[in-house]
Amino acid sequence: MSALLAPAPVPSRWDRVRAPLVTIGGLGLATLALHLRDPHVGGSWGICPSAAMGFWCPGCGGLRAVNDLTHGEVASAASSRGRLGPAGSGRAVHAAAQHPGRPLAGPVSGA
């Protein structure tokens, strides 16, 4: 009965920080890769699967925004993600309401 009430072993410091360190390291490597390989060039990261299926996801704009931020271009980064802001969300809802049952393909903005 006393075995059921025994306290759990305390994890070591390395056990507690391993996951955050691996996550930070992975994000750092991904950011470095985006800094070195420009996603603004078509096909530089391969073919976008969602674009090949006929719809746009925020992934490509996110890649371009991170690349712009690593080069210190904040305004360019903001324009890369512009479709995801409140105005872009409002346009998407409006377009979906105007055409019920019709799938949205391509960017929702007037581009």
Q: What average pLDDT does range 68-77 have in this prediction?
A: 89
Could you give the CA distance from residue 46 to residue 44 in angstroms, rounded to a whole number? 6
- CA of residue 11 relative to chain centroid, distance: 32
Scanning the structure block, which residue is given the tokens 């006393």?
A: 2
For 13-18, which contacts have Cβ atoms below 8 Å and span 24 or more sequence positions?
none
CA angle 67, 52, 31 (to 5 degrees): 20
Q: What average pLDDT does range 32-50 have in this prediction?
A: 88
Q: What is the pTM of this model?
A: 0.60
Q: For residue 59, is pLDDT > 50?
A: yes
* Two structure tokens written together for 68: 């712009």
